[in-house]
Structure 1
């Protein structure tokens, strides 16, 4: 299936095209030829027949590139506010244009739309074309507008205050040669910040020029003069000693982004009322597969057992379900123990965007691609006013170009489709599984239903996969409102049938991204610390080729540690991911051998728990360590005191001078060494003497008769041991 976002590589000509749009009848599509990386060339969208493009793919003339080199992984520094302002500025110019599809791809209609926009914004056609091509080439996401920002010069960066006056000369300077303004130092910036707080932000009806004038009067005057009426008037220095309004304005817009400026100026409530982004209603927006996915979470009415010990109950799992609003098909879900949070929502989204054949195979279930043909990114997601509203979800918006729609609080009816799906799953499957929660009260003497739990988390996930497959393929929705086109083509209201019909007749909404790109933008972002032992994150240490090649760890040992941005998967400690400095791609960092012994194949939560236990044990060992140190210090001190006493006593009895004692060190050392050798020698093979050596007893002879007494045999030697002793000597 050709989808918007696909990167097509033509084998013979070796150039690439991006699919920008596919019509609802799956007959025509717009594509744009991409520049070779690093080269500047102007290309515009062109119209192609889907059938011709599909044939080229089937015949091997072209391929869909699984790895997309034009996709950005932008991670600008949080301090680089200019990068975000440039992106927002570009997006503000083109956001309405790029939504006007397919008209924006038509040359004539595009030029007409641009003429209207240029009159309103004052931007040139060249600027619009630059941003449009950058947006289309980068995968049609806001993140594409970060492109090449890392190669810019010093715009938006703080400059040194030393040297001559920076900036463009004023009209006075150019005309009369009189310098105006001063370079902005840290002290002046501190005054700027205070002036904004005092004169501009407290919701006063003042303009930025008025705040600037009040600041000059308050903090830059060199004294006061008194007029005829006795009024004190601030006396200002000459122009070359004052910061200009242009510098003040530039600092203000560099220090505060649009949201911060509006909130600080008018307050959060007024901002939400007048300036927050307005998302259109969800009514009549389910016009095709992927137009809107609805997502929600619930605690399943079933108790599970541990996979490590089936006698242990682990409670009720959390189920995240994602439903396509057009077809009612379930493109993805997640079963886990994470409470309703961004963590669980991220796992459900990852499942909705991944290949279902591979996913089912992990649970021992074999399906074909047409049984669950969902692995693309939708246009919008509708969720509760909760986890998807967190900052962690910003990467989904900018990186994957998904619009997040949040339902109002206590308005579950806005997500009626996914809410109803929960009920269907519970009625059709969950309530019949062992360990299911029964709504009625347990009668006296009746067995606790929690003790009936038999399924592990993995087995329940496989159970839910079969339930979802049944829902997608066999759920007959007689309540579904078929439109005239569906009725004319005899479409049956099954989720999978509606999905397939929608792809052919209402397609072009779903988009394709490389799997690694999707996973990267769904991962949480944090900061790690570069140290001598490695890149430290949550008490674990990692290394990578870049760190080894650029001698990061040696530098940390020499100049001190520093922070680096990373992404990670909370389910595995085996690796973290370091974004490339130029925003293109990422690098995998592996555990160092030292950390691998303790943390390999663990989850981040397990590693955190282990570190907390280690800290607790260390704290508990404190009293014992202190007592032990006290005890052994006392014993060592006793040895010193005893030796000191004996030595001092002998020194009192000796008549040797200090000079004589030091001269005898060499001879004394030699004699002490000989005595020490005798004391430490090893005597190997010597047998210890027996306390009662055995003696030979002569037995009575026959001729002696029975009256003979037993007596020791008299020989020259008392025993055989005496002979052995003589032989040894």
Structure 2
């Protein structure tokens, strides 16, 4: 390793040298000597030391010498223009004392080889000073880098800065200023060392208990606890109490306790880590390319929604899940539902982020191209909350698909700062402007109840959020330009969409992709559906059809031999399709909703549940009405009257007599019904005559027989 002038070395276990830092002052290659100066924090004068080249090379080889650094004082690290004229004059005066000595090439070599060199004493006599003064100036010059500014005057600790002074009898500090001369301000007392001890004790006892406490409250408790005797005596003697003032208390608390300790001790650890700790860097410091890490989180949306079936029924506030690529700020997945934050809803957000967005947007009437939202990938790592994913299902299902699952610690929302900030953006630009919004705050008295303004359905809210996500992905974020040079080289605006596309095209990403059916089979739970004669039945009212070649044959079998259960994967976001395992040893096949169940097309699971609950309630409310009871009683009266009249009819000799002549009696009933539809006077005059004519005509038809010529039978040739 090359040894250079003014370089700093950490030397250890070298003969003739103490362990510590040394500055290289001069090299003498012809003499194979290096002159070094010890850097120690001591007022004792130090002398340069010579070290042989071979000795230093051996120390470097065995690891006894390491290149290091030495921090210069702040007052030396400034330009000439910022140094005061008086300091420059003192610096130049000191430099003039040693200028001739340090300009001599053999001065350092003679100094280390001769314990008492006459050149220094002669030089001191020449400049009318003493030898120790020259050595002090030389020590400063060698210690701080062998430059002029090393001789600047050091006043950083002048006047006892940072040191406490012993209190005397005279009152210190500015007196209390009063405007009215008729009032006389109390003189007060100086703060003693015993007072400082009480200040510390009171602050630890009353003020540093993990919560924010006002200093005035601590001061009041301190007086009652530790100065009670003096306060009682002063009140009895009608004089001012000899106690420290509140201003003195505040002054010494801030002086005795480090500011960082006061901040840390007046809050809990979680709040300190989230809101008060020092920031260590940017959120993307540990991600390099898109797909390195996706962040997933949920929040209750700040808006109330209504039922799609009945808009006057308020359902409450939905839960929105967002999946965001940490590196590009791209929102890659979205899920809105009435589910609470859980693995059940979280997996739907993952499925959305792993599948095509063009089809997803089309379900809500939004036509886009694949390039408008090209996010259907699996990340290298997923960062999420404990609540949804610290369960066996997430570990067994999501981990094999994703690869690595990171769980954020409790109460550490700032560790998912990217996705948390996306929620703020969606609220500010969309949600807080909608009807029925809570605007992110709790109800205040006299405020209008936001539930009364609820207007939008879950489907409409989702549609609005999709548009806002597309707008977000096309918005400019200046921080993206600082993360990668590709976005600048491509001369594209620094938007999440452009950042994503540029890195994917350059193959600088950590994204992977799987088939949609495979992703759903990994994440969605297996549900039971039924194969029936109509199709695949779900929830007793939804039927699905399949394009499988044997599907119609299976419906025939189900109608004649009975239905059978099948395994299915159900998407809670969209009821228009399900994935069904049609055969035992086959994969999952997509089945679409039949026309019979078109009322449930593109419905969310929440709407389906609402429909089922509505049906149950309507059935439970279906009680007999007054008119229904009246009809029931009238039917019973008719039955009773008929039975009574039947009982009064003359009895018959046999059962056959009751049924004989049914056709004739039927004709008579028909004729009587027809006559009953005519006018009353006509019916009264002609009823018997017409009946007789009809009877006569009927008898005549029975007696008259017409013989028809028989057709001659032709013999058929059997051959």
Q: TM-score normalised by the shorter chain: which range applies?
A: 0.3 to 0.5
Q: Which has the higher contact order (CA 8 A, sep 6+)?
A: 1
User: Which is greater in Rg?
Assistant: 2
Relative to the length of structure 1, the TM-score reads 0.43
